[in-house]
Chains A and B, each alone.
Chain A
């Protein structure tokens, strides 16, 4: 008897698994409470097989996805022999499979007739999980204990029974307890949907066929990956880039990678990267892996199904104790959102030497995290969190895109009308930042200006980058403009904020976020007159 499923069945099951992951994402979004999930879609969902291998994911947030397998592994390890039907596990500890504390992961084992068949996993960014600043993204934290409630892998649901004590503990530690509960329930709802659908699929196809098909699906991705790799040159190249600073010490922090490509394997060796730092830009290994997975997918073929098979021939080497593989209890909240962007820049810099016609200039290289927290006029505490897009890098064939999120994130903005209904804030401006791009044959995208007037005293945390080094151009293209955060005081005076800080802002003062523009690709003298004219008439780029 052959131990293979036919290609047709494999394709049918693959489609089915992807569909399940997508449906999980929709359920989570629709049932969620927080603006961050429901309006911005800051969440991701995936399915794993019984061996903890990722078999399908919904395309949501790249930084979430790479780190998920480590989370599943940590559950398997810690709860070996204690995983039962009806259980669900929860964790957010970056040192045990999480990314940073606000990202809470829920993992539900899926059983078919009492046999473990896989896991449904959802990860969502919660807008407050305690700690020293509202929004749990303090730009000035120096150890993880300041960043919020740390949840090791624990059982949240035991044989169908939700632990009220754990829920209560989490709610008590959050400034917005009701919203926490709503969002956690939405995550559970999503996982249960994944569970139900996978059970249905297995019931239809049979456990044996399902397992064989899964092996085959993973091998299929591997095959497609290798077929692309065989068309790439065998070579080595290095990339280097910098973080502005860690929010505590003002020095640049270096990221370094050596990329080695053969026809069979790719190695990203980050040896040479800075030691871990005091401030909150350290990454757990999981985040470095996410950045590496992202780049690998983007430079090969994004249509290859993303699963364990795709990443079999990638090694990511990061010495322990560096900012890309930090040791506990280093503060990490900015690693996930900021350093992850620089990991991509550093890798792309190396790849621009290997595959010059496929790599864009640097995009804004930050997520511009903004958290505004306080108490509204009715005495209700609130936390508003969002990330703001900027310029994307110019590309070897066309301009970069204006005002958009790039690389490791893809969250939506919050509608102004939603902000103003929910929070004591007035948005005064939301516009493209004129002349902020790098100019060149293909210019970078423009950054964004977003301006808030607060009606009550608030605590503002910003966590951003590219205020000291600019998003770089390629092939003779100019760098993009750096970002600027500031507060306009009631007397009209403008105070520039550091890129990573927590500060108080008085009622009627204005917070201004100007995000970086993208770097350009190619020399300015090669830009067509038509493009120059168009930019000028649209007021995007004036005379250069």
Chain B
């Protein structure tokens, strides 16, 4: 191989590594190895040493990486102590960070805890300065103010500083001055300021975002350095790109300055992979559904682009797929609009005091694991329920290399669910699956129905180790007519890394009535943001012809509290009628979400946004051998009793091997398709067909 790309996705349990030959676009190898939490580089390096020759290593051109380090830092995991950070803010406002929105995350719980402030009060400094809402300086900043803080940094060995002053989104002069002063005084200090990290109004959210960034800077820098050093030691010196929460990658040097951008690095890769699939197959609306061992995640890809949001709380509690407000630390940065719920193969089923069957949020994880693993766990999980219903192979998982014990699954469901509820084991197992499906259908609803999108118009792309087991049930629930199961569902997320363009997002706060705007000024403002993007992308090695920009605008009716993000694609700002075009798009979106529009109301612009993209050459999916509509005889491995609600009982069901299915093959449900990293259940009334790339399409009959 003369040119190699490597994708590395570090998860809680497994680290997925994909090696791609860039010349042919073919995947050379893909493996899952156990994660080594304290030193994640160990698992990667060991695995690469096994798979690559010295010559290969020299030919590695890019490394793509997804990591959960930023989230873990806030969950208090893996020995990540937060570095000593101070906050510098406007006089009178050092407690803004602690008071937050003065709201409690749990209404009726006398014993709830507010998250500890990221920077303790004694490390929050006020300086005498003030800028007003119009951006005018009311109280000028005096430099001698800063001397005391600078001394404190020295004596207390402070590692990083967050600067967040009132109205800095409007006028950044004071923040700039403070930053320059401290830069001059301290060489090794990590510094970030609100105007650079999150130039949007709302002081608490901006201050929180800036502080999160400052706290992460030393951690992420150290992490990047130790990772790249390890690569260098074995002869790989390719640049590393890291997946951001926005679904684009950014070069590691850039990420070290803006680590707040990689908080949801891990979960983003799956949606990016779905986006690639949508482009490749020319599909306009797909739902990305990823169900693994502990959680399930959903996002949408509409017109081949990913939906973003900027409301996110790091380390927050998730309730019914949404983050509970006030339970974590808000970060205002573009995040892929994902809904997540604690529902995975390992989620535990239990009976509560009022005799109701519940599933999750606690997971048996990999240790002790589901009851059927025969390890220490005796709590029934979703995996146990699927096994009892015949959906999983009783002889073992991972091509029978991983032994499981169906009798233990049955015993645990009998004791912990069936007996207390006076049901039989099958009814109980079915109940577990149904309740889990109900939870997961909520996250699918959140990303569609709640966003004004009709799920019936979507194709469900189901992946992750458990996604294809539940896909038909979920599609029935949401009246979705087609499902796509990618080739390697368990490694699909990691694959997404290789498909990812570089992406940098910019925002500028411009508050004006839509019809009062001078459109040549606006064009100018967009160009300034785009220039910033081009500079960074050029530094990352992108040529002008592979750089592209997308424009967006946040609009609302004057006086309304929430903005809608409207893409400006296809609208030229120099055109006469551009305002009407923008207004039309806004009204359409408003109507689809809220059910009404206000014709007589004025519309105001709040922010302008750009995405600057560094486009990479996408790998191609490879065609597989063509067969006929009937699978070859070898493809059917066996038959087995599988429970289907449609039959109100078990039914002899053919079991197929995914590896042996050929293009054009068709199957009629009920059927089970097994492969190394997942099992696909084809329900009655559904049929499966294999396309020329080996993707399975399930359609309702």
Chain A interfacial positions (CB closer than 8 Å to B): 6-8, 10-12, 15-16, 18-19, 22-23, 26-27, 29-35, 37-39, 41, 59, 62, 178-179, 182, 185-186, 188-189, 192-193, 197, 220-221, 223-224, 227-228, 294, 297-298, 301-302, 304, 358-360, 388-389, 395, 397-398, 401-406, 410-413, 415-418, 420-421, 426-432, 448, 451, 537-540
Contacts and interface: CB of A to CB of B under 8 A. Distances in A.
A435 to B, nearest CB: 13
A431 B438 CA distance: 44
Interface in B419-464: 421, 423, 427, 430-431, 434-435, 438-439, 442, 445, 449-450
Which 3 residue pairs of A and B lie closest in terms of their CB atoms, listed nearest first? A38-B561, A302-B108, A224-B354
B111 A404 contact: no
B121 A538 contact: yes
22 contacts: A7-B431, A11-B438, A22-B320, A27-B593, A31-B560, A33-B560, A178-B559, A182-B601, A188-B596, A193-B595, A224-B354, A388-B102, A395-B111, A401-B104, A413-B102, A415-B205, A416-B96, A418-B202, A421-B201, A421-B511, A429-B92, A432-B95
Contacts of B92: 427-431, 451
A33 B167 CA distance: 23
A415 B121 contact: no
Contacts of B358: 11
Interface residues of B, number: 66
B98 A403 contact: yes
A106 B434 CA distance: 35
B585 to A, nearest CB: 17
B121 A403 contact: no
Given A62-B108, A389-B99, A421-B511, A185 B561 contact: no
Contacts of A32: 560-561
A416 B101 CA distance: 11
Given A188-B596, A298-B108, A538-B122, 17 more contacts: A7-B431, A8-B357, A8-B427, A11-B431, A16-B438, A18-B320, A29-B562, A38-B561, A178-B559, A182-B559, A189-B594, A220-B354, A403-B102, A426-B132, A430-B92, A430-B99, A431-B94
Contacts of A221: 354
Nearest to B359: A11
Most A C-beta atoms less than 10 A away, residue of B101, B108, B427, B445: B108
Contacts of B559: 33-34, 178-179, 182
A35 B556 CA distance: 14
Nearest to A185: B596
Given A11-B357, A182-B557, A413-B99, A38 B562 contact: yes
B107 interface: yes
Nearest to B432: A8
A448 B99 contact: yes
Interface SS, B side = loop
A11 B356 contact: yes
Between B101, B114, B357, B427, the greatest number of chain A beta carbons within 10 A of the residue's beta carbon is seen for: B101
B195 to A, nearest CB: 13
B574 interface: no
A411 B107 CA distance: 11
A309 to B, nearest CB: 10
Nearest to A400: B110
B453 to A, nearest CB: 13
Contacts of B511: 421
Contact of B421 (A7, A27, A429): A7
B595 A430 contact: no
B499 interface: no
B106 interface: yes
Contacts of A297: 108
A23 B166 contact: no
Contact of A432 (B98, B107, B355, B427): B98
Nearest to A295: B108
B594 A31 contact: yes
B110 A186 contact: no
Contacts of B355: 7, 220, 223
B438 A302 contact: no
B99 to A, nearest CB: 4
Contact of A35 (B439, B450, B561): B561
B133 interface: yes
Contact of A403 (B99, B352, B594): B99
Contacts of A429: 92-93
Nearest to B204: A415
A486 B598 CA distance: 42
B530 interface: no
A41 to B, nearest CB: 8
A398 B111 contact: yes
A43 B255 CA distance: 40
Contacts of A302: 106-109
A360 B111 CA distance: 9
Nearest to A359: B110
A351 B111 CA distance: 16
B119 to A, nearest CB: 11
A516 to B, nearest CB: 14
Interface string B555-594: 0010111100000000000000000000000000000011
A412 B102 contact: yes
Contacts of B132: 420, 426
B591 to A, nearest CB: 10
A34 B559 CA distance: 7
B649 interface: no
A420 B435 CA distance: 48
A12 B438 contact: yes
A395 B110 contact: yes
A389 B102 contact: yes
A420 B108 CA distance: 33
Contacts of A29: 561-562
A411 B598 contact: no
Contact of B104 (A179, A410, A415, A537): A410
A388 B92 CA distance: 16
B103 interface: yes
Contacts of B94: 431
Contacts of B557: 33, 182
B353 interface: yes
B322 interface: yes
Nearest to A360: B110
A227 B354 contact: yes
Best-buried of B99, B122, B166 by chain A (most CB within 10 Å): B99
B203 interface: yes
Contacts of B113: 398, 401
B120 interface: yes
B450 A26 contact: yes
Interface string B77-113: 0000000000000001111101101111011111101
B107 A430 contact: no
A31 B106 CA distance: 24
A303 to B, nearest CB: 8
B473 to A, nearest CB: 12
Contacts of B101: 412-413
A178 B204 CA distance: 28
Nearest to A389: B102
Nearest to B428: A8
B202 A417 contact: yes
Given A223-B354, A294-B108, A8 B431 contact: yes
B286 to A, nearest CB: 22
A381 B598 CA distance: 22
Contacts of B593: 27, 30-31
B583 to A, nearest CB: 17
Interface string B210-245: 000000000000000000000000000000000000
Interface string B371-393: 00000000000000000000000
A188 to B, nearest CB: 8
A404 B102 contact: yes
B102 A39 contact: no
Contacts of A22: 320, 322
B561 A220 contact: no
A19 B397 CA distance: 35
